[in-house]
Amino acid sequence: MSEIQKKWYVVRAAGGKEKKAKEYIEHEMKRLGLESYVSQVLIPTEKVYQVRNGKRVSTERIFFPGYILIEAALTGEIQHIIRNLPHISGFLTEGKDKVPVPLRESEVNRILGKVDDLLDQEEETVTPFVIGEAVKVADGPFNGFDGTVEEISEDKKKLKVMVKIFGRKTLLELNFGQVVKE
């Protein structure tokens, strides 16, 4: 038997329910024994770092909220099965006949390449600060204060920022994540 020809398609999912929709697709294909028709179901995400309560927390953010990418051969009932699963409102289509349009090879490579690059990236690339640059304290007890960068410690990822507190200049040592550029 020859290899089934698969293409990448975009499936619309309910916002915030992308992971659940992905699980439904994978489970239904497995249940019906149709795994050979749907090889991959992807939700392109990236790691985002935030500072909460003074701690750096990493979370995943979805690149295309409300959309899932699937590599599938939409033959026979496959399209109908996927379209009628919970949290899925259909495929990205073109024209009156509502035929799902496969992504171009260049689009797939760009999206998958971006996902691969982000997976290879262990640590976020920190925006470099410049001495003398105006910054605003975004976290900690001095939240909301404006200041200027006096010293940068790249290896420790810390800044020394000159801030005016009660009319007097005070030097603060802060993490990169506690400061935003003005």
**CATH 2.40.30.10 given to domain 134-181:** no
pTM for this structure?
0.61
Q: Where, residue-wise, is CATH 3.30.70.940 in the chain?
A: 7-120
Per-residue pLDDT of the chain (182 residues; tens, 9 = 90+): 456 789 999 999 998 999 999 999 999 999 999 989 999 999 988 777 776 666 677 888 888 899 999 999 988 789 899 999 999 998 988 777 778 889 998 888 888 776 666 555 555 544 568 889 999 988 888 889 999 999 988 778 889 999 998 889 999 999 888 888 87
Distance of CA 134 to the CA centre of its chain: 29
Residues 6 or more apart whose CB falls under 8 angstroms from that of 21 comprise 11, 13, 14, 68, 85, 86, 87, 88
Query: 150: which 2 tokens?
Result: 């006096």
Domain with CATH 2.30.30.30 in the chain: 134-181
**41 vs 78: CA distance, rounded Å:** 14
Q: Compute CA 29 distance to the chain's CA centroid, rounded to the nearest angstrom.
A: 26
Q: If you classify domain 7-120 with CATH, what class do you get?
A: alpha beta
Residue that the structure tokens 């392109």 belong to: 44
